[in-house]
């Protein structure tokens, strides 16, 4: 390796750029395979609830939670149309009606709920659109170098999450993950996951310690 190449990779910016490139490349390669495998395995099919759609967003069954940002459009009602963030109690502060519980609702369900509370006292026959603009972070703990919360990126898998958290510790079982995630009823359930399993916003990932 020439001195010029060694000097380039010694720079912090170059190292960070290379790491980002590797994470994105890994995500694009693993995601398509993970969806096929999750569909073939009932446990992984449950883990893939709400997986990303072709547009890079979430499926119709994605459920809102703390930290999500949504754009709510009430047609012909400029004062009500805005960007709202779900707070720690799973609520948004909406004009005219105050605090509204939205945690656990899909965007479609939120549209229906807002239409019900606005009509007929505030808006006659309201037409409402809800779009998720940014998703809440995921959390990774256990045998990783830097446990904590990280921004969700569409198309991520468990192994991508580990890469963002600095990689495995020497004690990690690199094929054993536990995943806490709400089911369709909103109850948090524990799921066994694989390196290819897709990550969802709000997931709590535990990298297990190997036995030997």
CB 99 within 8 A of CB 92: yes
For the four alpha carbons of 99, 63, 127 and 53, in that order, the dihedral sign comes to positive
Predicted TM-score (pTM) of this structure: 0.63
**Residue spans of alpha helices (H) in 41-157:** 42-47, 107-118
Name which of 159, 171, 158 is nearest 199 in CA terms.
Answer: 158
Q: What is the rounded distance in angstroms from the CA atom of residue 165 to the CA atom of residue 199?
A: 14
Domains of the chain and CATH, by start: 7-55+137-209 (3.10.560.10), 69-134 (3.30.1950.10)
* DSSP β-bridge partners for residue 177: 193, 207
Task: Kindly report the number of other CB atoms within 10 A of residue 167's CB atom.
Answer: 13
For residue 58, the model assigns a pLDDT of 57
Residuewise pLDDT in 10s, the chain (212 residues) = 444 444 444 454 444 444 444 444 444 443 334 333 333 333 333 434 334 443 334 566 788 999 999 999 999 999 999 999 999 899 999 999 999 999 989 999 999 999 999 999 999 999 999 999 999 999 999 999 999 999 998 889 999 999 999 999 999 999 999 999 887 777 789 999 999 999 999 999 999 998 87
């Amino acid at each position: 390796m020439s001195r010029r190449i060694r000097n380039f990779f010694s720079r912090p910016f170059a190292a960070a750029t290379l790491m980002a490139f590797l994470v994105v490349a890994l995500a694009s390669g693993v995601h398509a395979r993970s969806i096929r495998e999750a569909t073939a395995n009932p446990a992984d099919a449950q883990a893939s609830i709400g997986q990303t759609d072709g547009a890079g967003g979430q499926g119709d069954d994605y459920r809102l939670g703390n930290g999500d940002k949504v754009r709510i459009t009430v047609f012909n009602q400029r004062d009500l149309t805005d960007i709202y963030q779900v707070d720690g109690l799973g609520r948004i502060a909406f004009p005219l009606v105050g605090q509204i519980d939205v945690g656990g609702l899909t965007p479609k369900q939120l549209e229906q709920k807002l239409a019900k509370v606005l009509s007929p006292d505030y808006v006659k026959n309201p037409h409402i659109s809800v779009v998720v603009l940014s998703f809440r972070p995921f959390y990774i703990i256990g045998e990783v170098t830097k446990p904590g919360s990280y921004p969700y990126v569409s198309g991520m898998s468990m192994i991508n999450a580990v890469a963002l958290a600095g990689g495995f510790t020497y004690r990690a079982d690199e094929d054993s993950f536990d995943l806490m995630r709400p089911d369709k009823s909103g109850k948090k359930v524990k799921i066994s996951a694989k390196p290819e399993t897709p990550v969802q916003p709000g997931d709590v990932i535990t990298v297990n310690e190997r036995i030997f």
